[in-house]
Amino acid sequence: MLRGLPASEGVCRGRLFVLAPPRPLVIEPRPITEADFPAEIQRLEEALLTTRQQLLEVQRRVSEGVGANDARIFDAQLLVLEDPFLHDEVLKQMRRDKVCIEYAFHDFAQRYFTTLSSVEDKYLSERAMDLRDVAERVLHNLLGQELPADLSHLHEPCIVVAYDLTPSRTATLDRRYVLGFATELGSLTSHTAILARSLRIPAVTGLTQAVAQVRTGQFALLDGYEGLLIVEPTEQTLYTYGQIERRQLALRGRLEQLRDEPAITLDAERLVLSANIESAAELSEVREFGAEGVGLFRTEYLFLNRPKPPDEEEQYAAYREVAEKLAPAPVIIRTLDLGGDKLPEVAGDLDERNPFLGWRAIRICLQQPELFKAQLRAVLRASAHGNVKLMYPMISSLDELLQANALLEECRQELRAAGRAFNPDLEVGATIEIPSAAVMAASLARHVRFFSIGTNDLIQYTLAVDRLNPRIAQLFEPTHPAVIRLMRATIEAAHAQGCWVGVCGEMAGEPVFAPLLIGLGADELSAAPARVPAVKFVIRRLKRTEAAALAAYALQCETGREILTRCRDLAQRIAPSLFEIASGAELEAAAAAPS
């Protein structure tokens, strides 16, 4: 039995496929002269461009297959390519030592990687993996060589064991043949682990010397709950895990039975349970998992990785497709929520020190009214073909909301003049994800029909925490009293003005938090499609009175830990089968049992 770190939940069994570490590139310091400098620089520029195109293609595939949110992890690799320090240092070494560009690049990248890897800082050491992944691609492109074989050639189901899987290699995994994977390197917060969770395949990282200890063809069991790789498991082990799988299968069957059932509490309180989607490709999942519509349709995929933004007609076609296929179920279309760095034609030479607090989302749209109006007209036109609602992101003040509504009214007048059909009673809402918006909720609610609380950003902005930064990830606390009180104040202010309130962040997809959000007064929860069944399972075993009592308790707590503990206690009490897997002791005993 090999023990590592649980990176992605699940259990699988099958034959191992051991992926040998790629042979290190041997690059000789081929001497060059000053006359060769321009040609060498040109080779570097071409290799960087080719690598960028390859990464954009990987990002596109991940966006289509997993989701745009997960595709953003490749932004870090794209930033490496654009790092002026790396570029300048490589050219400096080439000129100083008069060596070929591939040697200069390899030498500098290796030294940079070694430095980052040796730092006792999880965040920096994991970003070193991004550098290594990019550097490998650049070097192969410089040398005109093919990249090491990926895992797309597999033809039989197996558990992959590797020294490491880079994010770009993980993105090529075919879920039909890769049952799960185990690696020697990596951690819970690595990009590879994040992808594994999104792909919903079991994964274990940190398995020291795993490649040397196992062989291709051995039968094994991979436990992504406890971080175990059990080679040639005993009958007792297989029996124990068989029990776990049967529990999970039974639970899955119970969840599937709820697909067409409403999200209603035991005391007849009706909730709307919707899905968050990234593109029209996910519409089948909305129905498959029993969501009642789309509570958040992210439109960013239409704008990414292209030289020019999509025009009105292209956007209209995309929004109309979603509206028609889901009608009469509602679809809430959120307007553009990207940073300026993702819109090169619009941003120009924008150089922001802190894009998270910079020129993005509604701020770009209000300063680029033609860009914004093309999207608004497309949404309005799509509203003639289904139950479409419109939502503005990142509203921070009443002035922004009034400006957005004024532009929307201009679009209505333009469409009327052109004889274009649209729903004149289109519902308009705003996301509440900035503390200033939560504080101003009463004023904002007079000018919209609904709010949707984006918990991810609301938590980050309220607590000044980057949730993707492992150094401070422990400070990202969904149940922080300040966050809970802001949510309660927002909901009360909205209801006082006759507005309904949804929650569309990750909290809405966590069964543990469903009772708290309902108790705070949320009218709708919108989550990733696959999360909908478990949330519905909890709601249908909950009394509204229990949710109200939980919220009342949370609002008088002084620490997030107290609130989280009470949330877990209630969820586990009303839906125990949702949280039962097996105890660590039970699994240890089974794994250690003699043959």
Residues 154, 160, 164: CA angle, nearest 5 degrees: 115
Dump strand ranges (E) for 485-556: 500-503, 524-527
* DSSP bridge pairs for 221: 13, 230
The radius of gyration of the chain from alpha carbons, rounded to an integer in Å, stands at 26
Of 12, 100, 158, 191, the active-site residue reads 191
| Preceding peptide of 307 cis, ω within 30° | no
- Per-residue DSSP letter, 405: H
Residues 310-359 have pLDDT tens digits of: 999 999 999 999 999 999 999 999 999 986 545 555 555 566 666 668 88
CA separation for the pair 303, 307 (Å, rounded): 9
- E strand map for 191-314: 203-205, 219-223, 228-231, 263-264, 270-277, 294-298
Largest CA distance in the chain: 82
Q: What are the tens digits of pLDDT across the range 20-39?
A: 777 777 889 999 999 999 99
pLDDT 10s digits, 261-300: 999 999 999 999 999 998 887 888 899 999 999 999 999 8
Distance CA 335, CA 354 (A): 22
Write out the H or E segment, with its range, that includes residue 580.
Answer: none
DSSP structural state of residue 153 = T
Superfamily of domain 299-431: Phosphoenolpyruvate-binding domains (3.20.20.60)
> Which of these is catalytic: 158, 504, 557, 567?
504
Burial of 129-158, coded b for 16+ CB within 10 Å and e otherwise, reads bbbbbbbbbbbbbbeeeeeeebbeeeeebb
Cβ partners under 8 Å of residue 249, min gap 6: none
Amino acid 169: pLDDT: 78
Residue 357 exposed, middle or buried by CB count within 10 Å (0-12, 13-18, 19+): exposed
Do the domains 299-431 and 23-143 match in fold?
no
CA atoms of 585 and 347, how far apart (whole Å): 55
CA gap 332, 561 in Å, rounded: 33
- What lies within 8 Å, CB to CB, of 35 at 6+ separation is none
Beta partners for 431? 452
Residues of the chain with pLDDT under 70: 65-70, 72, 116-127, 148-152, 187-189, 191, 305, 339-356, 467-470, 473, 581-595
3-state DSSP helix/strand/coil % of the chain, to nearest 5: 55, 15, 30
Positive or negative, the CA dihedral 86, 89, 95, 101 is negative
Superfamily holding 23-143: PtsI, HPr-binding domain (1.10.274.10)
pLDDT for 70 equals 65
pTM reported for the whole predicted model = 0.72
CA 347 to chain centre: 24
User: What is the spatial distance between Cα 338 and Cα 355, in angstroms, rounded to a whole number?
Assistant: 10
Q: Could you say which DSSP state residue 461 is in?
A: H
* 179 membership: H or E segment, kind and range: strand 178-183
- Written as six digits, the tokens of 501 are 């309130």
Among residues 389, 374, 373, the alpha carbon closest in space to that of 317 is found at 374
Q: Per-domain residue ranges for the chain?
A: 23-143, 250-273+433-595, 299-431
Q: Is 106 a catalytic residue?
A: no
Q: Report how far residue 52's alpha carbon sits from residue 184's, in angstroms, rounded to the nearest whole number.
A: 28
Q: Are 354 and 360 in contact (CB under 8 A)?
A: no
3.40.50.460, 3.40.980.10, 3.20.20.210, 3.20.20.60: which CATH number matches 250-273+433-595? 3.20.20.60
pLDDT in tens, 81-110: 887 888 899 999 999 999 999 999 999 888
Best CA proximity match to 214, nearest among 196, 230, 234: 230
Burial class (CB in 10 A: 0-12, 13-18, 19+), 219: middle
Sign of CA dihedral 321, 173, 136, 147: negative
As given in the structure block, the two tokens for residue 270 are: 């009706």
Main-chain dihedrals φ then ψ at residue 116, nearest 5 degrees: -65, -40
The per-residue b/e assignment along 530-563, b for 16 or more CB within 10 angstroms, e otherwise, is ebbbbbbbbbbbbebebbbebbebbeebeebeeb
- Provide the 3-class DSSP secondary structure of residue 276: strand
Strands of the sheet with 178-183, listed across from one edge: 2-3, 228-231, 219-223, 11-19, 158-162, 178-183, 203-205, 5-8
How far CA 577 is from CA of 255, 515, 534, 580, 589, in Å, comes to: 11, 17, 11, 5, 22
Identify the pLDDT of residue 304.
Answer: 73
pLDDT of residue 584: 46
Burial 286-318 (b: 16+ CB within 10 A, else e): bebbbbbbbbbbbbbbbbbeeeebbeeeebbeb
